[in-house]
Structure 1
Amino acid sequence: MSRLCKMTATEHELNRDRRPILIVLHQERSSPGRVGQLLVEKGYHLDIRRPVLGEPLPTTLEDHAGAVVFGGPMSANDPDDFIKKEIDWIEIPLREKRPYLGICLGAQMLVHHLGGKVQSNADGSTEIGWYPLRPTERGRLLMHWPKMVYHFHREGFELPHGADLLAEGDTYPNQAFRYDGNAWGLQFHAELTRAMMHRWVVHGAH
């Protein structure tokens, strides 16, 4: 009986570990790309939501293993209701100590939620294409970083109060940070695939 209970408890933990990952996308044809592929390879199901199309976000992440919020053509400063609601929603993973990864717009939304500024450089410069990345000392202690990363953005963010800067760049200095142990923000596109890069350059030519 005790062995059966132990097996049941182990299965329960495995099931909890395999709760789906919440994926938040911002265009009808957007894809979670390489990040999504890696999560599926590790056995996670993806719960894909698109708030821009009216799909609601969960009121708790109790049934999710974490959340990844991706980029999009909009700004965290836009007045649209879904932008404001999504920024407010970030309180849920922060409060519940659930893993949160924000990529580009997703990172800028996290910064906005934490009271930091999201804005363009004074000269209006953009980052489109491959740019060098330099990990900070804190960043180097955490993981191995690529030397070049792909960008497609016209705004950057200041480092939120209480966050640790993990990687830097030249045009927009703040490239990666961690907040409170569970929340991560990346300015660059870690999810990029070759097909996505080609599609962005064609559809975002302007």
Structure 2
Amino acid sequence: MTTTSPDFPDTIYAIQHLAFEDLGALEDVFYQLGYRVRYFEAGVDDLTQAFGHKGLTIILGGPIGVYESDDYPFLQKEIDLLKERLKQNLPTIGICLGAQLIAHALGAKVYAGHQKEIGWSTLHLSHTENNLLSALIDTPVLHWHGDTFDLPENATLLASSDLYPNQAFTLGKHILALQFHLEVAADSLEKWLIGHTCELRHANIDITALRADNQQYASALEQVSGKIIQQYLMQL
């Protein structure tokens, strides 16, 4: 049974920038709530339908930067479609690169950070009324990014980390941007370690230690992430 109004579209659209960075644990949450899921591949599929969707569209992560449109021309088209979607205040969640794209589309600066943030740690939650991420208190989340962004105008900051001040924000009740990875699934994080091996080694990340942290923290995050998504859907 869905948690939104009866006329809310029952299909979740998800835009992928990397094959193994999918909806993860959130996909099962959506199925349990009665939704269907349809994926679009950025750089391959026409994203017009995904960005024009009246229901929830989720923009997932990837290793490229929003400022690399010269090398990846599809990015500019994606940004243009996203700008129009945000103007219409349609339900949109951005994760990692998706959050950076939302920030950029809202006029904020997105740029390379001072260091890679890869690994598990807790967030500093903002003391804002009805913080959508309040369930994450004392729950480590997975960070995996090198870029960061300034807080867009009129956005509400939800969370920070020790390394970066802007980890999550909302704009109204429909737009949610998460720099960290809320979606990770405990049983499939090995593919991240395989797919991102070059980045991990270049950043001198201890892969064995990261795997151990994944095993320690991912299951707990799964439980909390489902609650956050349900709360987000209920407020639409």
Which TM-score band (shorter chain)?
Answer: 0.7 to 0.9
Deviation at 1:48, TM superposition (A): 1.0
Q: Does residue 108 of structure 2 align to residue 109 of structure 1?
A: no
The reply on whether 1:198 has 2:183 as its aligned counterpart is no
* Conserved? CA contact 2:20–2:191, under 8 Å: no
Tell me what 2:13 maps to.
22
2:113 maps to a residue whose letter is N
Rg bigger for which structure?
A: 1
**Matching residue of 2:64:** 74
Q: Aligned letter for 1:138?
A: T
Identical-residue share of aligned pairs (%): 30
Figure out how many residues of one structure are paired with residues of the other and give that number: 189
Q: Once the 2 structures are TM-superposed, how far is the Cα of residue 141 of structure 1 from its aligned partner? A: 4.0
Whether the 8 Å contact between 2:16 and 2:39 is mirrored in structure 1 is yes
Q: CA deviation at 1:178?
A: 0.5
**Contact conserved, 1:68 with 1:100, CA < 8 A, in 2?**
yes
Cα deviation code 1:21-57 (max 9, x no counterpart): 1111112344211122211111111121112223433
Q: 1:32 aligns with which of 23, 38, 60?
A: 23
Deviation, 1:146, is 4.1
> Is it true that 1:184 corresponds to 2:176 in the alignment?
yes
Q: For the structure 1 residues 139 and 35, does the alpha-carbon distance in structure 2 shift closer, same or farther, using more than 3 Å as the test?
A: farther
CA RMSD of aligned residues (A): 1.9
* Residues 42-81 of structure 1: pairs in structure 2 closer than 5 A: 42-58=33-49, 60-62=52-54, 65-79=55-69, 80-81=72-73
Unpaired runs of at least 5, structure 2: 199-236
The unaligned stretches of length 5 or more in structure 1 are: 1-12
Q: Structure 1 CA distance, aligned partners of 2:158 and 2:20? A: 31
C-alpha contact 1:21 1:66 (8 A) present in aligned 2: yes
- CA deviation digits over 1:117-162, x for unaligned, max 9? 111234xx10111022011011664432243110111111111111
| C-alpha contact 2:20 2:192 (8 A) present in aligned 1 | no
TM-score, scaled to structure 1:
0.84
Confirm or deny: 8 A CA contact 1:139 1:165 kept in the other structure: no
CA distance in 1, matches of 2:107, 2:180: 21
2:161 paired residue among 142, 166, 169: 169
- Given the superposition, is the C-alpha separation of residues 185 and 77 from structure 1 closer, same or farther in structure 2, using an over 3 Å criterion? same
- Structure 2 partner of 1:6: none
Q: In structure 2, do the counterparts of structure 1 residues 110 and 191 end up closer, same or farther at CA, with 3 Å as the change threshold?
A: same
What SS does structure 2 have at the residue aligned with 1:201? helix
Q: What is the aligned counterpart of 1:136 among 126, 131, 143?
A: 126
2:107 & 2:158 partners in 1: Cα distance? Answer: 19
| Matched letter for residue 120 of structure 2 | W
Once the two structures are superposed, what CA deviation does each residue of 1:69-96 show, in whole Å capped at 9, x if it has no partner?
1001111111122111111111233233
CA distance in 2, matches of 1:21, 1:203: 25
Q: Identify if the C-alpha distance between structure 1 residues 29 and 131 changes in structure 2 by more than 3 Å, giving closer, same or farther.
A: closer
